[in-house]
């Protein structure tokens, strides 16, 4: 039982292994993600219009 408790504790990294944030890469990834979301929502809006038109003409 004591071994299970010790294995469940998180392993802390030393101060030498701390990664520095690359803000340029983070900014680029955020912009790409927002563009993907915008594209998806625009396509979803077109799909909703198509379904409404289909129901109207049916």
Q: What is the pLDDT of residues 10-21, one digit of tens each?
A: 555 555 677 788
pLDDT at 14: 56
Half-sphere exposure of 9 (CA within 13 A, CB side): 7
Q: What is the pLDDT of residue 3?
A: 53
The stretch 28-35 carries a mean pLDDT of 93
């Amino acid at each position: 039982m004591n071994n299970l408790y010790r294995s469940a504790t998180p392993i802390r990294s030393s101060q030498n292994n701390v990664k520095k944030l690359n803000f340029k890469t983070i900014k680029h990834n955020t912009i790409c993600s927002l563009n993907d979301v915008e594209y998806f929502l625009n396509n979803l809006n077109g799909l909703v219009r198509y379904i409404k038109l289909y129901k109207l003409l049916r």
